[in-house]
A and B are shown apart, each in its own frame.
Chain A
Amino acid sequence: MNSSQLLGFATFAYLAASILYIGIFVFRAKKLGVAAALLLTLGFLFNTGGIILRWVESYQQGIGHAPMSNMYESLIFFAWCIAIFYLFLEFKFKNRLIGAFAVPFAFLSMALASLKDPDITPLVPALQSNWLIAHVVTCFVGYAAFAVAAGMGIMYLVRSASLEGGKEKNPAGLLATLPGLKMIDDITHKTIVFGFLWLSGGIITGAIWANSAWGTYWSWDPKETWSLITWFVYAGALHARFTKGWGGKRIAWLAIIGFVAVMFTYYGVNYLLSGLHSYGGG
């Protein structure tokens, strides 16, 4: 048994869980709920085991380091964060319908990872810092929350399309089974708030790390700048809500736009722009 196999199992478990969660939603098959949650949990355990085993394997190869140093490893960790964050939400809100809008992100992240080179590579000197772990963990907890918030945003838009003047267009229809708009809106907001705290932490730990490695806590490198842009988008969403009472569709759209900015920060920057963070490429 090696980490790649475990992570492969995790990918399949996430895929199966995604299908079941979507099935719960589309076929109103509530009975699938327990199976979906179990599969997701199983995937999460494989994912956890895979990360730990990869960590151990890196030490066996004499190049020991936390498995968070390249795009492959960060995608695996991203999926892990999404899974645990969603499981927490399901537990807290006792609602499995939101799974259809959150769990597929975990699968997609694993699927993207499987396109990357899984070789464990040694750390170049700049990455040999405990701040690497602090930085990656804080960023990805935030990203995972934003992924779920975007899922909730999509869910909100889908749900509100089924309403007309506050009434169900088709009370027997599929969309009428989704949670109420107010609840979706509330979860979206809380999730953004949670993500914002972690994104702030991610930017700060990154700045401290840069300062300990290069003596510059902020150098406007494209990845830094894009994380700041993302931060502004969410700060805007939060303020519009606190002070102007924005909610509903507008916040739903902002949750989606914010996540596009997150994805660009995380993924797009590496391929489309150049900078200090280019280790993430490949």
Chain B
Amino acid sequence: MQKNKNEVWAFFASVKLALFTFFILAAASVIGTVIPQGKEMQFYIEVFGPGTAKLFQLLNVPDMYNSWWFVSLLVLFSINLIVCTIDRFPNIWRLVTMDNLALDIGRILKMPRHQTFHSDLPAAEVALAVEGMSTAWKFDKADRDGAILLAAQKGPWTRLGVIAVHLSILVIFIGAIIGSLLGFKGSVMIREGGSAKQIYLYDAGNTPVPLDFEVRCDRFELQRYDTGTPKAYISDLVVIDGGQEILKKTITVNDPLKYKGLTFYQSSYQPLDDAYAIEIENQTTAASKKFYMGRGSAVEWKEEGLKFRITDRMGPYGMGVYRHKLLFNDNSQKPVEFWAEEGKMYIVERPEADYIFSLRPLFFTGLQVAKDPGVWWVYIGCGMMLLGLYVAFFLSHRKVWIYLAEEESGSRLHLSGTSNKNKIGFDNDFSALMELLERNDSLKLKRE
């Protein structure tokens, strides 16, 4: 039984399994990039034939990355990672916390780098002088069978870099699981001037999800470059919670609105059919107002005693721009009629005041809405991974020892050292220390 358990443990702790999973995950991932994902069944039947399509359905190939077998592979990968980490941790921890002064002298003297010196001073005095030197190494001291051992190290903690990398993957997975269990993704279209109290999930039924607040769109603007390609999609959003305007933000692609754990992303737009926003300002008093209207309907600005109506449309001209015929009236005079191009400003002169007038088509702004409480785990995991990779690849655990034994005249100094990686870097480090010791006149060292 014990043997059995060990075998299972060893299987899940093995790097062979990790290499195997890397390979299988990579190979399986290719499938989903070659076979289009998320299409209707009909598509697969047409392209691959009914038999293959049936097999695809069985293996959930149309949604491969969420299929039971792909997720199982990820679970296997995680178990491998967890077991491997637990299995190796004690060993790594021992190396981190090891007492370098307790190491076998024979091994110390046979370290990859070593150099022997003779000093005219007694061992105890050399030890004191070395301890008093200002170097990057901080030496500890111990008596070993009448001789003196000094030991110093740099970066023992760098051995934990590997663990940070491995754990970071699990942290990212935890974030992804939290996101898929507690989060959701959906969308909502809001007409300029309108507001939304619910959003619609990206699922088969586009299930509505009620919000406990309201989002209003005060303005949507589509900016274009001279060439006609879109330059920016801009929405002025207002969050209304408990009857109060809590938050206002102008969002663009790459700059979303966040409120109560939900994020609203600018993702698309859609023109309304024959509906317009008209902005009008009294040039003298600076009073202004915005109206939303369709063709044919009349609106009235009571305070100013104005009435207007869109009576006709011409176009479209270049880039889909129309011209509209407006009938403009106040109580005093007979009405004026004129053509206004979308997006342009016009000044309408009336006896009582001049009005600045503009008209533009109305849009729905298309918002993607996401709630993902796991995203911070993912980000923390990503940071951990980069930090861990840097530590694991570029930093090393370096140790040096100085073993001081009495001799007939003075003492003998053994300097030795080792590093778990970056041997070249350590060589430089070691040579620098050696030079420092040799240059220190109070030590009176001679190479042997």
Contact = CB atoms under 8 A, between A and B. Distances in A.
B257 to A, nearest CB: 11
Contacts of A216: 185, 370
A215 B367 CA distance: 11
B256 to A, nearest CB: 7
Contact of B254 (A128, A236, A244): A128
Given A125-B231, A125-B233, A244-B15, A229 B30 contact: yes
Given A129-B254, A240-B19, A215 B185 contact: yes
Interface stretch (B111-119, B299-307, B382-390): B382-390
A211 B393 CA distance: 28
B415 interface: no
Interface of B: 15, 18-19, 22-23, 25-26, 29-30, 32-34, 36-37, 65, 176, 185, 225, 227, 229-233, 252-256, 263, 265-267, 368-370, 372, 375, 378-379, 382, 385-386, 389-390, 393
A4 to B, nearest CB: 20
Given A229-B29, A232-B22, A273-B33, A197 B256 contact: no
Contacts of A217: 375, 378
A122 B228 CA distance: 10
Contacts of B390: 197
A226 B27 CA distance: 10
19 contacts: A124-B230, A125-B231, A128-B232, A193-B393, A197-B393, A200-B389, A209-B254, A213-B253, A215-B263, A215-B372, A220-B37, A225-B29, A225-B30, A225-B33, A232-B23, A232-B25, A233-B22, A239-B19, A274-B36
Contacts of A215: 185, 256, 263, 265, 368-370, 372
Most buried by A among B22, B229, B230: B22
A233 B26 contact: yes
Contact of A228 (B29, B266, B378, B379): B29
Nearest to A218: B176
Interface string A231-243: 0110110011001
Contact of B32 (A63, A124, A225, A240): A225
A214 B252 CA distance: 11
Given A197-B390, A214-B368, A269-B33, A128 B375 contact: no
B252 A211 contact: no
Contact of A236 (B23, B37, B256, B263): B23
A contact patch SS: helix
B389 A125 contact: no
Contacts of B378: 207, 217
A208 interface: yes
Interface in A169-219: 193-194, 196-197, 200-201, 204, 207-209, 211-218
Give 8 nearest A-B pairs by CB, closest first: A215-B370, A125-B253, A232-B26, A222-B33, A236-B22, A243-B15, A129-B254, A204-B382
A129 to B, nearest CB: 4
A126 interface: yes
Given A122-B225, A125-B232, A235-B22, A273 B29 contact: no
A208 B230 contact: no
Contacts of B379: 208
A200 B32 CA distance: 21
B386 A200 contact: yes
Contacts of B368: 214-215
Given A204-B385, A239-B15, 10 more contacts: A197-B386, A211-B375, A220-B37, A225-B29, A236-B22, A236-B26, A239-B18, A243-B15, A244-B19, A269-B33
A23 to B, nearest CB: 30
Contacts of A229: 26, 29-30
Nearest to A261: B26
Nearest to A128: B254
A207 B379 CA distance: 9
Chain A contact residues (Cβ within 8 angstroms of B): what range? Answer: 35 or more
A53 B440 CA distance: 54
A71 B368 CA distance: 28
Contacts of B19: 236, 239-240, 244
Contacts of A124: 229-230
Given A215-B372, A232-B22, A239-B18, A128 B253 contact: yes
A217 B173 CA distance: 13
A125 B231 CA distance: 6
Contact of A125 (B25, B26, B254, B370): B254
Interface in A240-254: 240, 243-244
B74 to A, nearest CB: 12
A126 B254 contact: yes
A237 B319 CA distance: 53
Nearest to B372: A215
Nearest to A123: B231
A126 B266 CA distance: 10
A209 B386 CA distance: 17
Contacts of A128: 232, 252-254
A222 B22 CA distance: 18
A217 B178 CA distance: 14
Contacts of B30: 225, 229
Contact of A213 (B18, B26, B185, B265): B265
Contacts of A201: 386
A204 to B, nearest CB: 4
A197 B389 CA distance: 6
Contact of B253 (A122, A126, A218, A225): A126
A66 B379 CA distance: 26
A129 B255 CA distance: 9
A276 B15 CA distance: 35
A125 B22 contact: no
B25 A122 contact: no
Contacts of A129: 254
B72 to A, nearest CB: 17
